[in-house]
Chain A
Amino acid sequence: MDKPDRYQNRIELLQGTLDMLIMQTLCWGPQHGYGISNAIRAGSGEVLQVETGSLYPALHRLEKKGWVKSEWRLSDNKQRAKYYSLTSSGREQLAAEQDRWNQLSGAIAALMNRGESEGEA
């Protein structure tokens, strides 16, 4: 009956951000889970490593919310894979999250910078 640790905590930590990253990735066109995970890793210069235990729940959650949709297609290597793509409401959501993210990161950056300059002084 002993179950291994769940990813729940880490998902929650990343939630919102991960969703946004996924949707941002899908802006460039339909992609499967493996592709998304590669794209985020490559795009962040190997800094952000997306765990599958976070990625797939996020994809399914986004699909349930109607922000992405999925279909089965053949990849370039003739591999049958589930491709996700952004829906129009997903685009709206992405824009909204980008705004929020910009505000948030701007605010955090301002706070952090002030702390630094105070420290220097």
Chain B
Amino acid sequence: MNRWWSFLPTRRREKELEDEIQAHLAMARQDRIDRGEAPREAETNVLREFGNVTVVKEVTREMWGWSAVEVFWQDLRYAARTLVRSPGFTAVALLTLALGIGANTAIFSVVNVALLKPLPFDDPDRLVQVWTRGLRGGGGEGDWSSFPDIVDWRKENKVFEDLEAYRTWVFTVSGDAPSEAMPGFLMTSRFFGLLGVRPLLGRTFLPDEDQPGRNRVVVLGYRLWQRRFGGDRSVVGRAITINGSSYTVIGVMPAGSRFLYQYPDVFELYMPVQSYSDQEERGSHNYYAIGRLKPGVTVEQARLNMAAVGRNLAREHPATNKDLQVVVTPLQEHMARGVRGALLVILGAVGLVLLIACANVANLVLARASARTRELVVRAALGASRSRLIRQHLTETLLLGTLGGVCALLLVSLAMNLMRTLGPDDIPRLAELAVDWRVLLFTLFVTLVTAAALGLAPVLSSSRTGASEALRESGGRTTAGSGSGRLKATLVVSEIALALMLAVGAGLLIRSFSRLLDVDMGFDPSDVVVAYVMAPARSTDQAAFFEQVMQRVSRIPGVEAVAAAAPIPLTGWNDQGGFRIEGRPDPPSGVDDFLANRPRVSPSYLDTMRMKLLRGRWITEYDRSGAPDVCVISDVAARRYWPGQDPIGHRVSVDEREGKTVWREIIGIVQGVTHFGLDVERIAEIYVPQRQSPQEAMGLVVRTLRPVAGVESAIRREIKSVNSAGAAFRIQTMEELVAAAQSKRRFQMTLLVAFAVLALVLAAVGVYGVVAYTVVQRTHEVGIRIALGARQGQVLAMVVRQGFTLALVGVPLGVIGALALTRLMSSLLFGVAVTDAVTFVTASALLLIVTLIACAVPALRAARVDPLVALRYE
């Protein structure tokens, strides 16, 4: 009972005790004065009679019995006072911890949005991506499928509640304002419902609106609605012209609803698939399928079921499906499939940084603990229990860790802005980066683990030291304390090893990136502007339209050359498909398939892109419809399909005209280009004259020294002047496309290099700390040595040797660790082996140099020790 008061704030109870004693003194004084003592005399006597007020208070306080909360609070205040009293230590420790924890939290927050945070859809766990994987390779793995296949999956599967398809498409919106081209989606009608995405205004599609001949309707993206319709709510129900036909706007999606994260936010139009020619073609893989598993069905069950469905389809349609395999992946995993490995490696790397930071702070704590040994011993001698001392110490490191965590969160918001801008497009949902509960929980966890690790170090080292021993040790200054000294050395050695592992990882990525920069792209991306251009819908002669556009654009001042091509390298746009070789049977299943990328190009493409013609001739003005059908192949195609032969003069087919196979004579060989990415293996290319195979959408390639901003409006204007219904979109430079193709590796490299640098700095500080500390400890000894005639060089060597020994132990350990760990990052490397000797040697040398530099300062200080001062230093 009467426990209530133990929950009173200490401060108030403290005040009551003070009042109680003051009342005692006042009454005693009054009594003495009443008895005739002089006030001054009474005062003195009262105090003497009472005894030491502070001691009385203290012994009384002990009776209160502290509740656990109060003990903690006391320890906390004590810890805070200690930290404030040594601002240098506190600042360095906090900065180190904030960097360590902050970097971890920042990377975790990226992992969080990309891999962990549930997708903002209804029951996101049940959403899966369903796609076909060709057994044939090349051109990067596509995750698309054919529409007829998806329709059959829908009918035959037993695992999906719903299975919907979509594809990307380019739309030209015209009518009420100047015509404008933009990418968007064609989707089956229940697609929005499948995800549980709801419109801001109006409605989404009715169940049968994806059937041919139904209402022509369209849903707008928020930004398109704002930009083109000024956010007018009455747009719902209005008719707009898209690709030359009239469509009714039925709804507007809310802001920021980029629910297909892999697409940039310029995709702003949603239309039901109604009838497009490729829906009939089982061999044409342009659609993506997302399914919702029935409740209780696992992904594994879905995989098995869909694999069986896929096998049935392969039996029914061997011509198109014999090599295809149906794959089911959880939607979130699928969205992040390109970045998952890299993110986990980066998370691991940043974890190493935290370990180093911990080791560093632990070293600081140790150094301070030995400086405070005397204080601790005195407190122990005065009756502070061992558990109490340990608890107090743990409170101190907990406070340090927590403050570090708080500082880290401040750093994280900065880091998040950096990530949002630096992060490559293929990390999904970077825009959603935020400190949410998962990130907070992670930070809390990391902070507590860090604090515990820090707290444990000195406890471990000091528990071996008895009180009397410690008193003796702190009394003498001749040698460094051996127990904690060994622990400190161990910590520094592990720091060096960890830093080396990071340096090797970063080095491997740097080497990969430089290999990437060295890749011969097969064309010259500098000073090239790319624009996507749509021919007017239902244009009678699309090829002529593009020719006129090229002619006009070439007359813009500052433009050196203009070409048109579909598709264009590095845009993510491709026309990968099979081809046939005259006189050879169509390839047997699997192994040696005839697969090529088949760009349609204008004659000026070779020169504008500065590609290299290796043999034969390039496409000319005369290769137009009516003239003999021709094509140019790449060196990759020549080597692969005509090994040891001259392909020129052979005929291949990539397309049909009026239902008949078109045989094209190979007239030349060019050096292939990096179409799918700088680090993706090149596949065969077959260049076809656009005049012989007209396209609705083409890329305009403009070589000009003028900045893109200068020519952009001129290009748009010239297109309009050819035909007001023509439109351009996404005008960008080829260099931007190259940079985007490098961005993923650049991002990985930048992060790892940043962490490695951080690790090196921390390790250097660690080495410096330990060496400098022993130099201070050995000042006396050094003084004696110098007094006895040791030369400066000898003293210098003695100190450097100590630091260097640490490195000589740490570096081999780091090399072993790196050999073990870099294997995990083999998928991130390009053109470099995980055991790349150059990287390992350079990183090791770097570590040794850093260690030397870190030793240099204390070594010089030791060499300059004045023996007289040193000997008087007791």
Contact = CB atoms under 8 A, between A and B. Distances in A.
B51 A53 contact: yes
Interface residues of A, number: 31
B27 A8 contact: no
Interface in B1-57: 1-2, 6, 16-17, 19-21, 23-24, 26-28, 30, 50-52, 55-56
Contacts of A53: 51-52, 55-56, 59
Interface in A2-36: 3-4, 6-8, 11, 32-35
A81 B23 contact: yes
A117 interface: no
Contact of A32 (B24, B55, B375, B379): B24
Given A7-B59, A63-B2, A64-B2, A52 B375 contact: no
Interface stretch (A54-62, A93-101, A103-111): A54-62
B27 A75 contact: yes
Contacts of A7: 55, 59
SS of B interface (majority) = helix
Nearest to A8: B59
A6 B55 contact: yes
A15 to B, nearest CB: 11
A8 B60 CA distance: 11
B65 interface: yes
B64 interface: yes
Contact of B63 (A1, A6, A61, A79): A61
A30 B329 CA distance: 80
A16 to B, nearest CB: 15
Q: Looking at A3, A58, A61, which has the most chain B CB atoms within 10 Å of its CB?
A: A3
B378 interface: yes
B62 interface: yes
Q: Looking at A7, A34, A69, A80, which has the most chain B CB atoms within 10 Å of its CB?
A: A34
A34 to B, nearest CB: 4
Contact of A57 (B20, B21, B59): B59
A34 B28 contact: yes
A35 B31 CA distance: 11
A64 B59 contact: no
Contacts of A79: 23, 26-27, 30
B378 A56 contact: no
A57 B19 contact: no
Nearest to B57: A56
B378 A1 contact: yes
A69 B30 CA distance: 26
A91 interface: no
Contacts of B52: 4, 53
A30 to B, nearest CB: 14
A83 B552 CA distance: 104
B382 interface: yes
A77 B60 contact: no
A3 to B, nearest CB: 6
29 contacts: A1-B378, A1-B379, A1-B382, A6-B55, A11-B59, A32-B20, A32-B27, A52-B21, A52-B24, A53-B51, A53-B52, A53-B59, A56-B17, A56-B20, A56-B59, A57-B59, A57-B62, A57-B63, A58-B63, A60-B63, A61-B63, A64-B2, A75-B27, A77-B30, A79-B27, A79-B30, A81-B20, A81-B27, A82-B20
Interface of B: 1-2, 6, 16-17, 19-21, 23-24, 26-28, 30, 50-52, 55-56, 59-60, 62-65, 375, 378-379, 382
